[in-house]
Structure 1
Amino acid sequence: MIDMTVSSILLLLLSSLSFPYSSSSSSTLDSGFSLSVDKPEDVLVSPDGTFSAGFYVIGENACVFAIWFTRLPQSSPNSAVVWTANRNQPVNGKRSTLSLLRTGNLVLSDAAQRNVWSSETTSSWPTRLTLNDNGNLVLSEIHSEETIILWQSFDFPTDTLLGGQQLKKHTQLVSARSNTNISSGFYKLFFDTDNVLRLLYDTADISSVYWPPPYLTSFEAGRSTYNSSRIAVLDSFGSFISTDQFKFTTSDHGAFMQRRLKIDPDGNIRVYSLQQNNQWYVSWQAIPDSCIVHGICGVNSICKYNPRKGRTCSCLPGYRVKNHSDWSYGCESKFQHTCDSNFLKFPHVEFYGNDYVYVKNTSYKNCRDLCLQDCECKVFQFTFEENSVFTCYIKRILINGRHSPTFLGTSYIRLPQNKSNSNSNSFFEEEESDHDNGQVCFVKLERAYASGHVNSFVKFFLWFSIAVGALEVLCICLIWCSLDRTKQNSKANQQGYNFLSPFGFRKFTYSELKTATKGFKEEIGRGAGGIVYKGVLSDRRVAAIKKLNDTNVGAKQEEAEFRAEMTIIGRLNHMNLIEMWGYCAEGKHRLLVYEFMENGSLAQNLKSNTLDWTKRYNIALGTARVLAYLHEECLEWILHCDIKPQNILLDSKYQPKVADFGLSKLLNRSDQNTQSFSMIRGTRGYMAPEWIFNLPITSKVDVYSYGIVVLEMITGRSPMAMASLSEEGEEAMNGRLVPWAREKRKKTTSDRKGSSWVAQIMDPAIASNFEIEMRKIETLASVALKCVEDDKDERPTMSQVVEMLRSHEEEAS
């Protein structure tokens, strides 16, 4: 009863103190005034009438605050709207407002007076919101001498660049979900860390660059990586120029008209020019064949492109459309995957990327056998490449499927034997669709809003209560807040970590995991953050269950590590990353459930001398590949920050899987703030000098730790043990391992011509086959010493490390 009374009083009080509404159509809005969704006339119009800004209807009881071309019909938001404040969180069609507060903050609120979006600005001066003729919405401080811009829409683009609007290093264009749904889609145009303008396909499961073509280097694609200013702009005459040397002119170049560069829902970027009849036409596009765009037809499908008919998506035989209203969901199988199977031949069909196994210069039979030996293999791709070499690609994920007559390869789709006699070219008619038409996706919000009618008795009672009972109301509010806090605490176990649900992990109960581990009896690992136990789940899967240290009110570090590990692993997908199956968050208990690694950690295997040189080399290569993925292939910039043998696990085939992301740092690639680390991260002996000397932190800290791990694999010497013998300072970070190895190389090179310096540092426990693997080990050692250079700029990137190791393999073959 107290809750309801206080809520009603506060809601009515906020309503009575709302801002006066601007009722005239002008280009400005002054501080202290608002625009209301209930008043169609509350619209800002640019002085020349080209652009309008206000509430834009996108569905039943759903609106966004947007900027659009005034002359274009509002029935087609994807062609009229050029910017939105809240594209992913529409507000109610009644009682929602955009208010310019006297504090200088621009706030968008829905019917329940809940802030949906704000400019996050403050000012002690009068402010004004202005819609300019170029379509830029500008919030400014009004001084007597000058005008200072606090915020502008040009700095926060959605899917469109207008003439003169710059795309910068901290901004990106994100496509709409479809032609009728303006919420964020899967495609992004942005500057990467190499200062190159790229197109990215990005979902919760898969992320890949597709333009410029990923198989080309930046130089081969005609791009320059040297200008770090990262600016791109389209002018009003149809010329586009970017600091990476990418430039083009539209087909109508030279004519002054309204143009917009837009990343469309199909992942292509196009320039649209506005004709006199208010119709758009395409005056330039980046990708002529739309099937090149990654993920365009979803999983388990093939894209075919005809210049006259456009793009067509088709399910593979044995698969059906998953969602007929949205082809991006792809297709799902109509059969149970088994190891007992045959293959269907698809000439000139490729599934680009996501290779689970890649083998160069091999035969068809070997490629087929590799797929048959892996029950999770769904297709093997046998491709003829340059220098008359055939390459084999084993794939577990069927995405980016494309039929192209110019592709010199064949894909072999795996199907159960009873379905393998179907004609490979016969796609079911109902499972084929033209993907160019957008799907209507209206949003009906269920938020309640207060009625506009309040009787006179309630008004009188309200004002009387406010006038004579302010102190009483304050006391009630305090009591209500206390009760609400207690109620929230009591519900904490039931609510758990709802933010984790989008990642699809299963939420286990504490009792389930206690039963699975037989009371946490079999310990298989231990670290500063917690203990790892072996367990058997109810579905008979063997799991590694990590029990973090019990959290309490003051234990913020353990809680932060739990959130970090869940958040980061939830969006990654790589064969050399540990696979997470679920989690538990009950009271003070925090547990993570992983796949079980039969051969334990690299640290355990190094102690027991179970790894020969071939295994060690493959472990180094696999670890390098996954670090390159984290640093350079994900949309976010992910630093692991704790690479060490204890965090590299080995499966039944001794393939490495990196684990323990509790200390990881995830940053947006467009804002790699190297000073945002609030603490030193890592393990003594494996940490780069940057941590100790408070230098800028980059991905090179992982490169350094990787180099220490490789040296440990070669020498059999732990930097942790050697560190106890060294002095404080830089040498204490890696003990004497690095300077010792450098000194051995220097001395052997100068004193013993022709002898191998690696023989002086290698682990004597497995020296028997050194001569056979000498070149391989020398390559490893040289790469390791490059990775542990004191100057981070002298260290290679992880992708360069992978290239050095792979080039050795190719030379050996």
Structure 2
Amino acid sequence: MEVHLPKLVILTLIPIFLPLSSSSKTYTSLTQGSSLSSPHDVLVSSPMGIFTAGFYAVGDNAYCFSIWFTHAREANGNQTVVWMANRDQPVSGKHTKLSLLHSGSLILRDAGQLTVWTSGTASAAEVVVLKLHDNGDLVLRNEKNTSRVIWRSFDSPTHTLLPEQALTAKAELVSSRSLTNQSSGFYKLYFDNDNVLRLMYSGFEMTSVFWPVPWKNSWEAGRSTYNSSKTAVLDLYGRFSSTDDFKFNTSDLGVGPRRRMKLDVDGIVRVYSLNARRNTWEVTWQLPMQPCNIHGICGANSLCNYSPASGRRCSCLPRYKPKDSSDWSQGCVPDFDQTPCKNNASDDVFSRINHAEFYGYDIGFFQNQTLEQCKNRCLSYCECKGFQYKFDPDRGFYNCYPKTLLFNGYQSSGFEYWIYLRLPPASDETKLVQLQLQCTNPVVEIQRPYTRKNKHGWLRSLAWCVGALGALELVCVLLFLYKTRASGKKLREQGYFQVATGFTRFTYAELKKASRNFSEEIGRGGSGVVYKGVLSDNRVAAIKRLNEANQGEAEFLAEVSLIGRLNHANLIERWGYCAEGKHRLLVYEYLGNGCLTENLRSKKLDWRKKFEIAVGVAKGLAYLHEECLEWVLHCDVKPHNILLDENYQPKVADFGLSKQLKRSEVENLNVSTIRGTRGYMAPEWVYNLPITAKVDVYSYGIVVLEMVTGKIPNFDSDQNGGILERDEGGSSSVSNWIDQIVELGEYDVAGLENLIKVALQCAQENRNARPTMAQVVDMLLAH
């Protein structure tokens, strides 16, 4: 028998080689003796999967075991991290595991050797399980007695406090070092020994409390020291309360958005709320503090300047230079010899800096001093770096504050203070070195040696053999990729399109599964059938399966691209699409109250809801007609294409028949086929007149009249003359017959008359007599 040795060797070695590469796994719980491997294994919260725990990348081959929101992301695209176990000691991405030992202790080992973090628990007599809950709390508890909590992440927060997570005397929030460095930073929110919640700067060389303002007593700052529990919590409604009487409410107070309270890298505490519609975080409360009042923000020997236009800037004092221009927290260092009392200190000079103040580090406080007396006092101390010279308006004289350290400097035109900087007599230069804040961070390599035991040397030889065979296979793969480059190019183009539009490109199989083989139909129209489905991320969606036509993929993607540029509260929100072979599908948000047609038949809508629907639809159409870079004509405005959300707010849907055009083409638009639904179509379609945005205005008028009267347009006539028969009096006679035609129950007579007049104007046969949709909005809201 002929044997092909290379193939035989490959087939023989595959079972040995495969265990060396692990695939990612998703868990809902971790039991004793099991583990999560970096960097891909994750633990998801139950039952809704709001949070994920796993290895979060903080650098090149550097990971921290963390908890983050599964879907919500930061503005820079990174996951929204809420907790870290080893933020100051990242681990390698290879052979690192978080293990739940049989002893009941959680342990994180770097590369399987060095222990970098442990829960410090040992419950060998108990059966324990680790679970992540939908409130973001990672809990180790007794599996049989679930009320017995052994360890939980809520007890050791990092920089974030989640709703109902208590900040206590044994816990504190510590900011990150920078936007890109997740290690512990300089700012801390904690309960002090006097039971007051405080913010502290703790830098390389100094520490200082800056909130509440340190020059006030606790009661002057509205705080109480008479408590012993030391507890602060943000509840589910957006209310924060602390046992020292500090309280606040977020701007979006109430049940609804997901929130998180974070001590940011700039030393400011903020509460972020998730805008579910945009999937973005928005600040709904922040500590009311000027950026330059935060201690340590510019380091020693520097001044902080702030303006709304240019933001915060750090400036070195005269004859000082930045210690590290990429990290202003390190401040500035003298560009001269600063040996205390070297030579004759009396020769030192003073450079005056106007409108500036340095807080703290005073040698003493000397009242009623002349400028010369204050200079001599500073010269008498070798450690004096300068002095603050302030006028006391209550007593009518100046006070002197010699400084041992120039820290927490702030310069503003609103200050009437002066700083006199002590300098050796080498230069009379008083120009400040001013640089804008830098946000770059150098990459620091973690120096951590790993020792490996030299066992099973024959495995190394085997690995070399497998590597050689792998190289051969790699060549084959490259040849295959070369031959299929056209297909790869197409996939890349699809990726670029997804980034440009913000849409997700679904496969047909994904949507077929989400809709359970298109089993639950929720609507149909001339362009296709709509089905209800549940996407892989548990979002309920409406999946529209367009009728098969001769439309090419490029033409379909062009229309999808247009839709991606439309964003209005009264337009249906599109989430994705599918263009696969002959299949064309659109995925958009599911609205539980269905279309306007169904609600009109069920008579659920009172006068107020109908009026708000009329206004909302008008705003959506006005946006399409006048606020887009390209004009969009809907061409099929009817109750079936107006959907209602849970609050009965309208959203215009179904742009399958829409027409996009440039503004220069509006007067010369040529539409080859009639578009729309009989009964709602403007006369221009029948008489072959130029098609403009006024066709949508006409359809809108018919829809409003149908809402008011409950009468459906005549679908059989070639031209719809309007739902109402107008008498010779025109719109002014509306009040004469309004009670006979209206089906609204209780209503505002004047408001209803105005709505009917606007609708009749929109439904004029003469297109030039119809208002624009923007004018319709103004007329409705002017009432």
Could you tell me the TM-score, scaled by structure 2's length?
0.52
* Letter of the structure 2 residue corresponding to residue 319 of structure 1: Y
CA deviations on 1:114-161 (whole Å, 9 max, x unpaired) are 211100111111111111101110010112x54310000000001110
- Which residue of 1 is the match for residue 358 of structure 2? 351
- Which residue of 1 is the match for residue 400 of structure 2? 392
- Which residue of 2 is the match for residue 31 of structure 1? 32
Q: Please give the residue correspondences for 1:316-465 in structure 2 after superposition, counting only pairs within 5 Å.
A: 316-337=317-338, 339=345, 340-385=347-392, 387-388=394-395, 389-420=397-428, 422=429, 424=430, 426-428=431-433, 431-434=434-437, 437=439, 439=441, 441=443, 443-448=445-450
Inter-CA distance 108–323: structure 2 relative to 1 (3 Å threshold) = same
Give 1:397 shift: 1.1
* Letter of the structure 2 residue corresponding to residue 316 of structure 1: L
SS in 2 for 1:417: coil
* Letter of the structure 2 residue corresponding to residue 312 of structure 1: R
- Which residue of 2 is the match for residue 173 of structure 1? 173
Alignment check: 8 A CA contact 1:225 1:244 kept: yes
Q: CA–CA distance in 1 between the matches of 2:460 and 2:415? A: 75
SS in 1 for 2:131: strand
Alignment check: 8 A CA contact 1:59 1:444 kept: no
Give 1:211 shift: 0.3
- Which residue of 2 is the match for residue 315 of structure 1? 316
CA deviations on 1:549-599 (whole Å, 9 max, x unpaired) are xxxxxxxxxxxxxxxxxxxxxxxxxxxxxxxxxxxxxxxxxxxxxxxxxxx
Give 1:291 shift: 0.6
Q: CA–CA distance in 1 between the matches of 2:48 and 2:454? A: 36
* Letter of the structure 2 residue corresponding to residue 381 of structure 1: Q
Give 1:269 shift: 1.0
Alignment check: 8 A CA contact 2:43 2:132 kept: no
Give 1:75 shift: 10
* Letter of the structure 2 residue corresponding to residue 134 of structure 1: N
Give 1:349 shift: 0.6
Alignment check: 8 A CA contact 1:112 1:449 kept: no
Rg larger in 1 or in 2?
Answer: 2
Q: CA–CA distance in 2 between the matches of 1:349 and 1:457? A: 69
Q: CA–CA distance in 2 between the matches of 1:333 and 1:27? A: 57
CA deviations on 1:269-321 (whole Å, 9 max, x unpaired) are 11112223232222111143111011110111000111343211111111111
Inter-CA distance 122–66: structure 2 relative to 1 (3 Å threshold) = same
- Which residue of 2 is the match for residue 95 of structure 1? 95
- Which residue of 1 is the match for residue 48 of structure 2? 48
Q: CA–CA distance in 1 between the matches of 2:129 and 2:461? A: 33
Q: CA–CA distance in 2 between the matches of 1:78 and 1:193? A: 37
Q: CA–CA distance in 2 between the matches of 1:386 and 1:236? A: 48
Inter-CA distance 442–235: structure 2 relative to 1 (3 Å threshold) = farther
Alignment check: 8 A CA contact 1:62 1:445 kept: no
* Letter of the structure 1 residue corresponding to residue 262 of structure 2: K
Give 1:100 shift: 0.2
* Letter of the structure 1 residue corresponding to residue 348 of structure 2: S
Q: CA–CA distance in 1 between the matches of 2:218 and 2:234? A: 22
- Which residue of 2 is the match for residue 84 of structure 1? 84
Q: CA–CA distance in 1 between the matches of 2:306 and 2:262? A: 21
- Which residue of 1 is the match for residue 286 of structure 2? 285
Q: Please give the residue correspondences for 1:6-405 in structure 2 after superposition, counting only pairs within 5 Å.
A: 24-38=25-39, 40-73=40-73, 80-123=80-123, 124-143=125-144, 145-276=145-276, 277-337=278-338, 339=345, 340-385=347-392, 387-388=394-395, 389-405=397-413
Q: CA–CA distance in 2 between the matches of 1:224 and 1:81? A: 33
Q: CA–CA distance in 2 between the matches of 1:348 and 1:75? A: 36
* Letter of the structure 1 residue corresponding to residue 158 of structure 2: T
SS in 1 for 2:394: helix
* Letter of the structure 2 residue corresponding to residue 195 of structure 1: N
Q: Please give the residue correspondences for 1:485-634 in structure 2 after superposition, counting only pairs within 5 Å.
A: none
Give 1:244 shift: 0.5
Alignment check: 8 A CA contact 2:42 2:54 kept: yes
Q: Please give the residue correspondences for 1:752-791 in structure 2 after superposition, counting only pairs within 5 Å.
A: none
CA deviations on 1:515-570 (whole Å, 9 max, x unpaired) are xxxxxxxxxxxxxxxxxxxxxxxxxxxxxxxxxxxxxxxxxxxxxxxxxxxxxxxx
Q: CA–CA distance in 2 between the matches of 1:374 and 1:324? A: 31
Q: CA–CA distance in 2 between the matches of 1:90 and 1:75? A: 24
Q: CA–CA distance in 1 between the matches of 2:454 and 2:137? A: 34
Alignment check: 8 A CA contact 2:42 2:52 kept: no
* Identical pairs, percent: 46
* Letter of the structure 1 residue corresponding to residue 324 of structure 2: N
Q: CA–CA distance in 2 between the matches of 1:438 and 1:248? A: 34
* Letter of the structure 2 residue corresponding to residue 314 of structure 1: S
Give 1:32 shift: 0.9
Give 1:60 shift: 1.2
Alignment check: 8 A CA contact 1:31 1:102 kept: yes
Give 1:207 shift: 1.2
Unaligned runs of 5+ in 1: 1-17, 461-813
* Letter of the structure 2 residue corresponding to residue 434 of structure 1: L
* Letter of the structure 1 residue corresponding to residue 450 of structure 2: A
Q: CA–CA distance in 2 between the matches of 1:454 and 1:279? A: 52
Q: CA–CA distance in 2 between the matches of 1:46 and 1:99? A: 20
Alignment check: 8 A CA contact 1:378 1:398 kept: yes
Inter-CA distance 107–165: structure 2 relative to 1 (3 Å threshold) = same
What RMSD in Å do the two structures reach over aligned CA positions? 2.8
- Which residue of 1 is the match for residue 492 of structure 2? none
* Letter of the structure 2 residue corresponding to residue 163 of structure 1: P
Alignment check: 8 A CA contact 2:53 2:67 kept: yes
Alignment check: 8 A CA contact 1:268 1:286 kept: yes
Q: CA–CA distance in 1 between the matches of 2:334 and 2:459? A: 64
CA deviations on 1:163-208 (whole Å, 9 max, x unpaired) are 1111001111111111110101111100111111000111342111
Alignment check: 8 A CA contact 2:83 2:159 kept: yes
Inter-CA distance 82–107: structure 2 relative to 1 (3 Å threshold) = same
Give 1:83 shift: 0.6
CA deviations on 1:367-424 (whole Å, 9 max, x unpaired) are 111112223321110112352342211112111010133433211111222322x2x4
CA deviations on 1:59-86 (whole Å, 9 max, x unpaired) are 1121110111122458959861111001
CA deviations on 1:464-484 (whole Å, 9 max, x unpaired) are xxxxxxxxxxxxxxxxxxxxx
Inter-CA distance 287–453: structure 2 relative to 1 (3 Å threshold) = farther
- Which residue of 1 is the match for residue 524 of structure 2? none
**How many equivalent pairs are there?**
434
Alignment check: 8 A CA contact 1:22 1:34 kept: no
Inter-CA distance 283–186: structure 2 relative to 1 (3 Å threshold) = same
Q: CA–CA distance in 1 between the matches of 2:154 and 2:237? A: 19
Give 1:434 shift: 2.5
Give 1:433 shift: 1.7
Q: CA–CA distance in 2 between the matches of 1:287 and 1:439? A: 28
Inter-CA distance 259–445: structure 2 relative to 1 (3 Å threshold) = farther
Could you tell me the TM-score, scaled by structure 1's length?
0.51
Q: CA–CA distance in 2 between the matches of 1:303 and 1:440? A: 23
